[in-house]
Amino acid sequence: MPAIAAGLQGVVATETKLSMVDGQAGQLVIGGYDVGEIAGKVSFEEACMLLWRGVLPGKEEVPGIRKELATLRALRPETLEIIKTARNAPPIDALRMACATLSLDVSNPNDISPAGDLAMAKRLAARFPTVVAAHARMRQGLEPIAPRPELGLAENFLYMVFGEKPHPSAAKALDTYWVTVIDHGMNASTFTARVIASTRSDMVSAVTGAVGALKGPLHGGAPGPVLDMLVDIKTADRAEAWLRKELEEGRRVMGFGHRVYKVRDPRAEVLSRTAEEMAEADLHNRKLYDLARSVEKTALKVLDEVKPGRNLRTNVEFYTALVLQSIGLLPDQFVAMFACGRVGGWCAHVMEQHGQDRLIRPQSEYVGPRGLRVAR
């Protein structure tokens, strides 16, 4: 038997044109562009089309793309009923349950042709935010708000959650966040989607599986606890003692360290700028942002001293927490918000896998007993 790669560490399973992660250089390339080159400069709808078609749409195409996706946002009654039933469940669970119903209005949900996949990708990207927004309303005992077709995807999501048109900076921050997290190499949820797609299963099945994989705390992350950490630290002068105590007691410092990146996560670089832009508009957020920057600096120093050689640097969770709370979202919604961005990448990987049409079927080495007999 060949050597076992636990967790498939170091195994290259496929070729892709969608994204490249260089953990040593701290680089993330999405469809040929460094993440900092497109996040904040193109809309989420445009970034989706980049991954789905291989090129950014021209400026003249953008209004038509936005209009098309806007027509797909509304949910069927069956989906709304599932969300209502799951109104007390975590948002990511409600999204997983609802996702499985999003092909009910498709005449041939098993169509995995390039055209069929593209049509389904548009539905999923358009409807994921609607699901999360409807759940946010229903768990408060409120009725869902119908989408407004003249609003962009991010702006419309915030309108459906809060009942009023958001400040432009809030919509831009959410758009930037979704583009930043749209794809990230062969992560666990993406691999899950590709394994399902490799059986020639449909896109909705593959993406539903991806949502289930994202829910796990080793993958979906924990941006919510970053806020808990900052609230507990309170002031910059308390940070070093607090951080050292956490490490002495064997606990993780949230928002630092990554399985791949050995330098600062490039997504953290993008989102730190977004958090700063949001902070400039609000005194409370400014104070939290200033505290976060101070805690980040102290944490990097303490981690280098306590865990030398581990290269535990700022990851995407740290500034995700600041960005999402600044637009009024709750910590338990953060993973579902991540899914609303990552669905663009999941759909692109399903398309790519369907195009390759190769079953993913690794081997395993049996280490259990042999030769047992039934004693009766």
So which residues are the catalytic ones?
Answer: 258, 317
Alpha-carbon span 96 to 207, nearest angstrom: 9
Three-state DSSP class for residue 45: helix
Contact 157, 314 (CB under 8 A): no
The number of beta carbons lying within 10 Å of the beta carbon of residue 165 is 14
Structure-block tokens of residue 238: 């308390």
Query: What distance lies between CA 285 and its chain's CA centroid?
Result: 23
C-alpha triplet 304, 309, 312: angle, nearest 5°:
55
Alpha-carbon span 177 to 180, nearest angstrom: 5
Instruction: Give all strands (DSSP E) within the chain, no chain letters.
Output: 19-22, 27-30, 33-34
Please name the amino acid found at residue 209: G
Alpha-carbon span 47 to 347, nearest angstrom: 12
Beta bridge partners of 42: 39
Alpha-carbon span 33 to 24, nearest angstrom: 18
**Which 8-state DSSP code applies to residue 331?**
G
In 3D space, the residue among 360, 362, 355 whose CA is nearest the CA of residue 17 turns out to be 355
Tell me the pairing of strands 27-30 and 33-34.
antiparallel
Three-state DSSP class for residue 256: strand
Residue with tokens 């793309």: 65
Alpha-carbon span 32 to 300, nearest angstrom: 31
Alpha-carbon span 283 to 200, nearest angstrom: 52
Residue with tokens 């040593």: 24
